[in-house]
Structure 1
Amino acid sequence: MSRGRSNLAVSTAFVVLWSSGFVGAELGTRFTVADTLLAWRYAIAAAVLWLVTLVRRTRIPRGAIGRQGLLGSLSQVLYLGGVVTGVGLGVPAGTAALVAALQPLVVATAAGPVLGEHTTPRQRIGLAGGLVGVGLVVAGDLGPGDAPWWAFVLPVGGMLALSAGTLLQGRLRPPESPLVAVTLQTSIAAVLFGAVAVGAGDVAPPADPGFWGAIAWVVVLSSFGGYGSYLLVLRRSGATRVSTLLYLTPPTTMAWTFVMFGEVPVVLAAPGLALCALGVWLVLGTPRRRTAEPAHGANCRTPGASWGT
C-alpha cells in the first residue's frame, strides 16, 4: 500500500474509532454512572495492554513513564473527565461537542509558535467552516440544559487539555512506540479514574451484563482503536491535521447513533456534514508551511505536504 493510501486509511480509522467513544459513553451510562464506566474501562484496557507488552517483551525507554504520564493526564484523564462529567451534570451533549470542536482552532493557532506549523488563509477558512458545520450537525442539542453555569467550564477545560496534550506530543516527539505510549497513558488514566471512583463510592460494577458489553465496546474500539490511531495520525501528519479530523467526528457519531439507537438527525445535519467535509478538505488538502524544525528533528519524520502523501 502506498504511503498516501496508508495515511488515508489510518485517518479514516481514526475518525470512525474516535467517534465510537461517544457511542460507548451512551451505552455505558445506561447502566451506571460515568465514574464507574471510566474506571473499569481503563483498568481492563491497562491490564490487556500490559499483558501484550510483557508477552512481546517490549522495552520501556528511560523517562517514558514521566512523558507518557503527563501526556495521558492531558489527552485522556482531563479531556474525558471534563467532557463526561460536564455532560453528567446536565450540559447538553451537542453543546459539549461544539465546545470540543473548538480544539482544531486552538491547536492551529498555537501550532505556529509551538511547532512551526503555520496555517494558510485557505486552511483558516476551512477551520472556521468546519466549526460552523459542527454547529449545524449538533444544532438540535444545543442550549443551556439543566446544568449549573460552572459545569460548562468542564468541557472547555477538557478541550484545552486535549489541545495541550496534542501540542506537547508534537513538541516532545517522544521515542516510545504507539504500543508503549498507549499502555503508559492508559495506565495513568486507570489509576486516576480508579481513585475518583473509589473516592465517590462508585467502583462496584452493576449486575446487568449489558455493562460488560459496553466496557468491551469502549476498551476495544475507543481505547485501543481510538487512541492508537490518534497517536499514529499525530506522528505521521502533525498536530493541526489530527485536530482537524476531529471535525468529522460529530457527523460520524450522528451516523453511529442513527444506526444503533434510531436517533434521527436534525434537518441541518446534512448541510453541516457537507461543511465539515469541505472544511477538512480545505485544511488537509493544503501544503503546510514550516518555519522551524522540531528540537528533536533527528528522531522524527517530516510530515507529508498533503493528506495523501
Structure 2
Amino acid sequence: MTMERHRRAWLAAMPLLFVVLWSTGFIGAKFGLPYAEPFTFLTVRFVLTLLLLVPLVMLLGGDWPRGPVLWGHAAVSGLLVHGAYLGGVFYGIELGMPAGLASLLVGLQPLLTAALSGPLLGERLAPRQWLGLLVGLVGVALVLGGKLDPGATLFQGFGVTALGAVVVALVGISLGTLYQKRFCAGMPLLGGTVAQYLGAGAVLGLGALMFETRTIDWTPTFLLTLGWLVLVLSISAILLLMTLIERGEASRVASLFYLVPPATALEAWWLFDERLPAISLAGMAIAIAGVVMTVRGRRASP
C-alpha cells in the first residue's frame, strides 16, 4: 500500500514538476548569457543535447521520422519551435528584458496560435476565444505599461530591439505549433525531437558564425547552467512530457503551462531581484486568464 501511495503521489506531482522545470529555462538564460552570446550558447546546447539524445533514442528503441519528407518537416518545425523561440528569448534577455516578462510574452502563444488557426488551418474561433484574445491583449498592455519609463526611449532597462526579439520568439513558436500540426502528424516524439534540434541548431549555428564572436567564458557558473539546460530541460523534461502523454496527462500539462510566467517571475525575483510593479502583476494575471479562456474555448468549439 505504501508503494502504491508513493506511485500515485509521484504521478500527481509529475505535471507540476514538468512546468517548474520548464520555467527554469528562462532563468538559465539569465545565468548563462553573461558568459556566452545567445546564438553561440544555444548552438553548444543543441550540439550537446544531440550527442546525448541520439544514443538515448537508440537505447530506448525509439522510432525515427519515416522518409526524408517528414525529416524535412520536422526540421522546419524545429527551426520555428526551438530556433526562433529560444533564439528570440535568449536574445531579448541578453538585451535586458526581464526573464519574467519574456516568459509572459511567449506564454501568450495559445492566443496567437488560436488567432492564426483560422486563416492558416481553417478553424473557426468561438466567441469565448475572441473574448480571451481581447482579455489577453489588455493584460499584456498593462504589463508593458507598468514597465514604461517616461525618461527612457521605450521601456525601463530594455528597448524596442529586445521586445522585437521576444515577439519573434512568440511568432516562431506559434507558427511552429501550427506547422507541426499540419505537416508532422505521426512524428515520433524523441526521434522527431532529434530532427527538430538538427534544424534549429543548424540555423542558430549559422547565426553564431555570421553575427557573433563565438567566445565563451567557461566558468563554473556557465558549465552548471549549460549542464542544467541540456540534462534537465532538453532531455529530462522531454522524457517527462513523453511519460505524461503516454498516461493521458497532456491536457493537464497544457493547463499547468499557465503557471509558467508567474513561476518564472517568482524565480527571477528571488534570484535576480527582478521586480514588476503592481500594475504589471495585475496585467500578468489578466493575460493568463485570457489564455485560459482562449484554450478552453478552443476545446469547446466545434
TM-score, structure 1 as length reference:
0.73
Whether the 8 Å contact between 1:67 and 1:174 is mirrored in structure 2 is no
In structure 2, the CA distance between the partners of 1:248 and 1:264, relative to structure 1 (3 Å rule), is same
Q: CA deviation at 1:208?
A: 0.9
Partner Cα distance (1:134, 1:226) in 2: 28
Mapping 1:5-44, distance limit 5 Å: 12=16, 15-44=19-48
Q: Do residues 250 (structure 1) and 254 (structure 2) align?
A: no
Whether the 8 Å contact between 1:17 and 1:221 is mirrored in structure 2 is yes
Partner Cα distance (2:172, 2:165) in 1: 10
The one-letter code sitting in structure 1 at the alignment partner of 2:81 is S
The one-letter code sitting in structure 2 at the alignment partner of 1:249 is V
Q: CA deviation at 1:180?
A: 1.2
Q: Which moved more, 1:140-149 or 1:28-37?
A: 140-149
Q: Do residues 271 (structure 1) and 275 (structure 2) align?
A: no
Whether the 8 Å contact between 1:134 and 1:251 is mirrored in structure 2 is no
CA RMSD of aligned residues (A): 3.9
Q: Secondary structure at the match of 1:268?
A: helix
Q: Secondary structure at the match of 1:49?
A: helix
Please point out which of 54, 59, 64 is paired with 2:63: 59
Structure 2 portions without partners, runs of 5+: 5-9, 149-153
The one-letter code sitting in structure 2 at the alignment partner of 1:180 is G
In structure 2, the CA distance between the partners of 1:238 and 1:127, relative to structure 1 (3 Å rule), is farther
Partner of 2:175: 164
| Cα deviations by residue, 1:267-304 (Å, 9 ceiling, x for unpaired) | 235534543453344344444223xxxxxxxxxxxxxx
Q: CA deviation at 1:16?
A: 3.0
Mapping 1:15-164, distance limit 5 Å: 15-60=19-64, 61-63=66-68, 64-89=70-95, 96=102, 99-115=105-121, 117-136=123-142, 140-142=146-148, 143-144=154-155, 152-164=163-175
Whether the 8 Å contact between 1:137 and 1:251 is mirrored in structure 2 is no
Q: CA deviation at 1:174?
A: 2.4
In structure 2, the CA distance between the partners of 1:276 and 1:90, relative to structure 1 (3 Å rule), is closer
Q: Which moved more, 1:167-176 or 1:113-122?
A: 113-122
Partner of 2:7: none
In structure 2, the CA distance between the partners of 1:252 and 1:88, relative to structure 1 (3 Å rule), is same
Whether the 8 Å contact between 1:137 and 1:269 is mirrored in structure 2 is yes
Q: Secondary structure at the match of 1:29?
A: helix
Q: CA deviation at 1:197?
A: 2.7
In structure 2, the CA distance between the partners of 1:48 and 1:223, relative to structure 1 (3 Å rule), is same
Q: CA deviation at 1:102?
A: 4.8
The alignment of Structure 1 onto Structure 2 pairs a total of residues equal to: 285
The one-letter code sitting in structure 2 at the alignment partner of 1:250 is P
In structure 2, the CA distance between the partners of 1:252 and 1:276, relative to structure 1 (3 Å rule), is farther
Partner Cα distance (1:117, 1:147) in 2: 37
Whether the 8 Å contact between 2:74 and 2:192 is mirrored in structure 1 is yes
Partner Cα distance (2:285, 2:164) in 1: 30
| Cα deviations by residue, 1:47-83 (Å, 9 ceiling, x for unpaired) | 1111101223433221332121110111111222233
Whether the 8 Å contact between 2:99 and 2:264 is mirrored in structure 1 is no
Q: CA deviation at 1:94?
A: 6.7
Q: Which moved more, 1:147-156 or 1:102-111?
A: 147-156
Q: CA deviation at 1:145?
A: 5.2
The one-letter code sitting in structure 2 at the alignment partner of 1:208 is T
| Cα deviations by residue, 1:5-50 (Å, 9 ceiling, x for unpaired) | x999776455433322211100111322223321221111111111
Using the aligned pairs only, state the percent identity: 30
Q: Secondary structure at the match of 1:58?
A: coil
Q: CA deviation at 1:199?
A: 4.1
Q: Do residues 261 (structure 1) and 272 (structure 2) align?
A: yes
Q: CA deviation at 1:154?
A: 3.3
Q: CA deviation at 1:212?
A: 0.9
Q: CA deviation at 1:245?
A: 6.7
Please point out which of 284, 289, 309 is paired with 2:301: 289
Partner Cα distance (1:279, 1:145) in 2: 25
Whether the 8 Å contact between 1:82 and 1:155 is mirrored in structure 2 is yes
The one-letter code sitting in structure 2 at the alignment partner of 1:209 is P
